[in-house]
Amino acid sequence: MMRSHRAGSLRASDDGSEVTLCGWVDSRRDHGGVVFLDLRDVEGIVQVVVDPTRPGCEEAHRVRAEWVLRVVGTVTRRPEGTVNPDLGTGEIEVAASSLEVLNESDPVPFPLDERAGEVDEGTRLRYRYLDLRRPAMQLNLLLRSRVNSSLRASMDRQGFTEVETPMLIASTPEGARDFVVPSRLSPGSFYALPQSPQLFKQLLMVGGVDRYFQLARCLRDEDLRADRQFEFVQYDAEMSFAGADDVMEVVGTAVADAVEAVTGERPEAFPRMTWHEAQERYGTDKPDVRFGMELVDLGPVFASTGFRAFQAEAVKGIRVVGEGAASRSRLDALTDRAKGLGAAGLVWMRVGEGGALESPVAKFLSDDERRDLVGSMAAEPGDLLLMVAGERRVANHVLGVLRLDLGRPPVDEGGLRFLWVVDFPLFEGLADDGSPVPAHHPFTMPHPDDLALLDAEGIDLLGVRSQAYDLVLNGWELGSGSVRIHRRDVQERIFTLLGISPETARERFGFLLDAFRFGAPPHAGFAFGVDRLVAILAGEENIREVIAFPKTQSGADPLTGAPGPLDSAQLRELGLTVAVPRGATARPDPRH
Ligand code: ASP
């Protein structure tokens, strides 16, 4: 064994032990006579005291930050007054009897302590292997590993079989662009990388697997954000002879197991809310219920108003506690924000003593309206009321965003508030050609009460509900799932509604429609992003902090230089010629 202990694991109870440690020099203080080294390994940091005049310790003068050392020494209690309560090892130090340099290091491009958080992310990713040495990053990776292993154990306990599905496939639509891989053996043909294992997991159900799960890698070519990467890991599950309740039970148990494993506390059963209620109360399908500031329907207050702007499909408001003193320029900025989100305008009112309302539009409201408004909003002196009138959908959306802008707590505050959002609509809107766009994916079963509607003439397709459900955590959409269509006729009907011709459906999904001919069991499933769950558990705003080697916001990897061009021999072999679109410039190598 190269070492006897991990440096960061030593405690006062080890006093007197002879230890051999290996690690990196976190910092070094040369006090003329003795040298103090902070030695870092995966468990943390311990202070090593070296007397360079001692035989075997001569190298101590030479070592620098990030050199790799092997130290033999004796654990001793620190002298009175030098205990460091911030360090797990703070009560002890190691008196070195020998010090061996295992490797030297060039000066590192940025300090590997808390100051690294302020370093430009491109630099951190360029030297990710150094960034990962930081205890905060080590903890994030460890947390992630624990989440994965407890999810696996939980699914195993719940009777699921882990099955790996292929990476080189035909396209699986999840609403994003595919990443594609050219085929050398069939030049001119391409594989798609999976946006999800959706079709394979459904085929596994037809294959009698009964309960499938996988920590699946998925790839989607969409713009990157704080909560989105091109490639991500999805906890992916599917169950036969099961409905929405069964899936929510299993997933809720697995998530609770994982949360308990890393926090020591089991979250309570996740409450449910319909999609419709979420829109009305929070203006979004992923409500952050860590705080109130709910949207209030002011329709009844202004039902017969004389104020033109409020003669609309919906009038809704939020109450911003204690913001009544907001400056005019701040209110103007909020108004611009609301307009930018699609509102015709934003009505604001400052609440004064006795419920007096100060606002440019207060004079257009009747006394009753003013009184009922204050009552409906439970407004108190010092509050600010913000109102949007117009289409219900727009009013909800605009106020939903303002609510988050004005009230959302930081990621590590307010606890973990899980929520199931159920009864999603089947379609989320209409495409330019008038065909409906699936809210989930085209394999989602309509709500049983709305199934007959699909065949009715002239119905509002956007009002048809599905059997889809999302899991939301602190305002993040963690994942989604649904009861699937398992009957060929229903699936064909949905394809037709989506404007997918029978020929196209055959060409792209013929294998699925075929499989449905052979006794497909009723089935349902779910998938959620492990990166997002781990980020929230780690108190990180950005999922890149919990991914070992992420891409930058522009999709580049500053460490390896990907993406890069292919050489001409490779292109020839794949039967490809490259035509860079006019106006596009080749990306400079992100490493330079
Ligand atoms: N395949 C879906 C997704 O990736 C999840 C599911 O329906 O199971 O979002």
pLDDT tens-digit readout, 365-387: 999 999 999 999 999 999 999 99
Which residue lies with its CA nearest to atom 9 of ligand 1? Answer: 480
DSSP letter for 306, please: S
Q: Which residue has the higher pLDDT, 584 or 479?
A: 479
* pLDDT value of position 581: 79
pLDDT digits (tens, 9 = 90+) for 230-246: 999 999 999 999 999 99
Residues 6+ apart with CB under 8 A from 345: 309, 335, 338, 339, 388
Residue 56's pLDDT band (cuts 50, 70, 90): very high
Atom of ligand 1 nearest to the CA of 479: 9
* pLDDT value of position 115: 82
Residue 582's pLDDT band (cuts 50, 70, 90): confident
Residue 175's pLDDT band (cuts 50, 70, 90): confident
Quote the percentage of the chain above a pLDDT of 90: 83
* pLDDT value of position 499: 87
Q: Strand, helix or coil at 251?
A: helix
* pLDDT value of position 355: 87
Residue 16 in contact with residue 77, Cβ under 8 Å? Answer: no
H-helix or E-strand spanning residue 62: none
- pLDDT reading at 592 higher than 60: no
Give the pLDDT mean for 7-25.
97
477 alpha carbon – ligand 1 mean position (Å): 12
Residue 315 in contact with residue 302, Cβ under 8 Å? Answer: yes
pLDDT digits (tens, 9 = 90+) for 267-286: 999 999 999 999 999 999 99
DSSP letter for 453, please: G
Residue to probe by mutation, ligand 1, list 480, 484, 512, 531, most atoms within 8 Å of CB: 480
463 alpha carbon – ligand 1 mean position (Å): 22
DSSP letter for 307, please: -
Quote the percentage of the chain above a pLDDT of 70: 98
pTM assigned to the model: 0.91
Per-chain mean pLDDT for the chain: 94
Residue 35 in contact with residue 28, Cβ under 8 Å? Answer: yes
* pLDDT value of position 11: 96
Give the pLDDT mean for 570-586.
85
* pLDDT value of position 454: 82
Which residue lies with its CA nearest to atom 8 of ligand 1? Answer: 526
62 alpha carbon – ligand 1 mean position (Å): 56
Tokens coding 419: 């929520």
Residue to probe by mutation, ligand 1, list 196, 246, 467, most atoms within 8 Å of CB: 196
Going by their DSSP bridges, the two strands 347-351 and 272-274 should be labelled as: unpaired
Going by their DSSP bridges, the two strands 272-274 and 190-192 should be labelled as: unpaired
Give the pLDDT mean for 115-119.
82
**Burial of 235: CB neighbours in 10 Å, binned 0-12, 13-18, 19+:** buried
Residue 484 in contact with residue 525, Cβ under 8 Å? Answer: yes
Rounded-to-integer distance, Cα 349 and Cα 373, Å: 11
480 alpha carbon – ligand 1 mean position (Å): 6
Residue 589's pLDDT band (cuts 50, 70, 90): low
Tokens 């990467």 correspond to what residue? 229
213 alpha carbon – ligand 1 mean position (Å): 12
DSSP letter for 9, please: G
- pLDDT reading at 173 higher than 90: no
pLDDT digits (tens, 9 = 90+) for 390-431: 999 999 999 999 999 999 999 889 999 999 999 999 998 888
* pLDDT value of position 432: 84
Give the pLDDT mean for 170-184.
89
Report residues whose beta carbon is within 6 angstroms of any ligand 1 atom: 174, 196, 198, 480-482, 525-527
Residue 587's pLDDT band (cuts 50, 70, 90): low
Residue 461's pLDDT band (cuts 50, 70, 90): confident
Which residue lies with its CA nearest to atom 4 of ligand 1? Answer: 196
Give the pLDDT mean for 178-184.
95
Residue 477's pLDDT band (cuts 50, 70, 90): very high
pLDDT digits (tens, 9 = 90+) for 537-555: 999 989 999 999 999 988 9
527 alpha carbon – ligand 1 mean position (Å): 5
- pLDDT reading at 588 higher than 80: no
* pLDDT value of position 301: 96
| Residues β-bridged to residue 468 | 482
